[in-house]
Amino acid sequence: MIVMKFGGTSIGSSDQIKKTVNIIKSKLSEDPIIVLSAVGGVTDLLLKSFSLAINKGVIDYSEVKEKHLLILKDLKLPLNLLDNEFLDFEKNLDILKNIKKDNLEILDNLLSFGEKCSVKILSSYLTLFGIKSRYYYSYDLGMLTNSNFGSAEILSETYELLEKSISLLNKNYLSVITGYIGQNKEGKITTLGRGGSDYSASIIAAAINAKRIEIWTDVDGVMTTNPKIVKNAKKISEISFEEASELATFGGKILHPKTILPAINKNIPVCVLNSFNPEYKGTIVTKNNNKKELTAISYKQNVSLIKIKSTRMLYAHGFLMRLFKVFDDNNISIDLISTSEVSVSLTFNDFNNLNEVISKISEFGKVDLFENKSIISIIGQKLKYESGFVSKITGILAKEQVNIDMISYGASEINICFVVDDADLEKAVLVLHKELFEI
Ligand code: ASP
Ligand code: MG
């Protein structure tokens, strides 16, 4: 068995759905299970309808409706195919309109319609096309999560539940399953976080011990860096699980950061493929990667950096623990840390309660805040073997007059991170790529 996940652009139009069906057809002998995102752009549109309902008391989901109706029409599917979904959606908007308050529980319910509609469309079209198919909501098959609406985490029993129910599905039908969504123990719909369908696919693959996970997207694979900044960015043919997860965590947008974990646990290769260029080989993420090379440069913008200096406290027992507790209490996740005898530097993404947090940590020492920073992460096995790499990089950046605020050498030994000004980011990525990857 294999799991094939198609992202929003791969089912973004009737033409693209036809191509996707052909891709699926070519893999039927491998016994695929299909996992889908919402039709491209739909999740954003659903969010827009949500905001309109709570902020303005207006019910408007015409764009979502039109997008789906156009696809139904072009694919010659019944135009009333999604009427029940639209009706349900409208009911939710109506509730929101009246309560006029942010409600993550209702939001997740609303967002689930994107995937609920897409699986129904694809499955109906496959059947029309002669491939008998059925669609399923992942939670009906056992995708059980905690109640962290908006970014839920699966419960451990999910794997067993999925394995059991998928093994009972009728093999004469191709199964199309919703990505992104799950359900908590009370039966409330949850979502796994934006872009979470990749994660759904890898959870399902791990549950059924799939031979391979195919993530079908709209680019040729994982690139050495963002091709929007660096024209000469190259496709990476092979990358290790470890490298791919560093890459996803530090800004590489191709795979959802959690995707790799279930795949690692079961040692299932993940292929990143392009549905606009299906013959192309893409990138394969596997356990093995002995290449002593550099793999990629990724980055994360809009981070803030805090430096805390304290001669008194740093030696004190439990200092770091108390410091981290402040961040934890405020639900802020820290990306990088570096400590010296008298100071701690850390980075995190922007958040709302900044002043409160700063005043709390000021109790520990002098606090300096630096905003509008970027983290650049250089990833590759070579970092384990080449000494003097840090000075090479600082040298390259110094020549371009890029100032480095902080350096952090990942515990994994395969990545090294630098904090620079947002304003210097493009320049830094360009020159690093040129000096490290284009020679
Ligand atoms: N449809 C969801 C999103 O846009 C999930 C996904 O695409 O993976 O975030
Ligand atoms: Mg995605």
Is the Cβ–Cβ distance between 301 and 422 less than 8 Å?
Answer: yes
Tell me the CA–centroid distance for residue 363 and ligand 1, in Å: 41
Pocket flag, ligand 1, residue 45 (CB < 6 Å): no
Atom of ligand 1 nearest to the CA of 197: 8
Pocket flag, ligand 1, residue 40 (CB < 6 Å): no
Q: What pLDDT does residue 381 have?
A: 86
Q: Using the structure block, give the residue that is written with the tokens 């739909």.
A: 42
Quick one: which H or E segment has residue 132? none
Strands (E), 29-171: 32-36, 133-136
All domains in the chain, ordered by first residue: 2-286 (3.40.1160.10), 296-437 (3.30.2130.10)
| Burial of 279 from C-beta contacts in 10 A (0-12 / 13-18 / 19+) | exposed
Pocket flag, ligand 1, residue 37 (CB < 6 Å): yes
> For the chain, how many residues are written?
439
Angle at 14 between CA 9 and CA 18, to 5 degrees: 90
Q: What pLDDT does residue 341 have?
A: 75
By the CB criterion, residues less than 5 angstroms from ion ligand 2 are: 7, 195
Q: Any idea which ligand is nearest the CA of 35?
A: 1
Atom of ligand 1 nearest to the CA of 43: 4
Q: Is 416 helix (H, G, I), strand (E, B) or coil?
A: strand
Q: Whose CA is nearest to atom 5 of ligand 1?
A: 195
Please provide the distance, in angstroms rounded to a whole number, between the alpha carbons at the two ends of the chain: 41
What is the model's pTM?
0.88
Is the Cβ–Cβ distance between 187 and 195 less than 8 Å?
Answer: no
Q: What pLDDT does residue 313 have?
A: 63
Tell me the CA–centroid distance for residue 211 and ligand 2, in Å: 21
Pocket flag, ligand 1, residue 196 (CB < 6 Å): yes
Q: What pLDDT does residue 354 have?
A: 83
Tell me the CA–centroid distance for residue 198 and ligand 2, in Å: 7
Query: Which of left, alpha, beta for 239 (phi over 0: left; psi -120 to 50: alpha)?
Result: beta
Is the Cβ–Cβ distance between 260 and 310 less than 8 Å?
Answer: no
How far is it, in rounded angstroms, from Cα 250 to Cα 253? 9
Tell me the CA–centroid distance for residue 181 and ligand 1, in Å: 9
Tell me the CA–centroid distance for residue 253 and ligand 2, in Å: 7
Q: What pLDDT does residue 383 have?
A: 83
Atom of ligand 1 nearest to the CA of 44: 4
Closest C-alpha to 42, from 63, 73, 56, 58? 63
Q: What pLDDT does residue 246 have?
A: 84
Q: Is 305 helix (H, G, I), strand (E, B) or coil?
A: strand
Q: Strand order in 283-286's β-sheet?
A: 133-136, 174-178, 32-36, 2-6, 212-217, 270-274, 283-286, 238-240
Pocket flag, ligand 1, residue 179 (CB < 6 Å): yes
Pocket flag, ligand 1, residue 217 (CB < 6 Å): no
Closest C-alpha to 57, from 104, 98, 107, 105? 98
How far is it, in rounded angstroms, from Cα 183 to Cα 109? 10
- Compute mean pLDDT per 10 residues along the chain, 439 residues long, and list them: 97 97 97 98 96 93 97 98 96 89 91 98 97 98 97 97 97 97 98 96 98 94 90 92 84 81 94 95 86 88 91 72 88 85 85 84 91 94 82 94 90 87 97 94
Atom of ligand 1 nearest to the CA of 194: 9
Angle at 25 between CA 21 and CA 28, to 5 degrees: 135
String of DSSP letters for 343-387 = EEEEEEE--TTHHHHHHHHGGGSEEEEEEEEEEEEEE-THHHH-T
Pocket flag, ligand 1, residue 114 (CB < 6 Å): yes
Q: What pLDDT does residue 315 have?
A: 63
Atom of ligand 1 nearest to the CA of 200: 8
- Give how far the C-alpha of residue 142 lies from the chain's centroid of Cα atoms, to the nearest Å: 21
Pocket test for ligand 1, best of 37, 112, 177, 204 (most atoms within 8 A of CB): 37
Q: Whose CA is nearest to atom 8 of ligand 1?
A: 195
Q: Can you read off the two tokens belonging to residue 379?
A: 């990833």
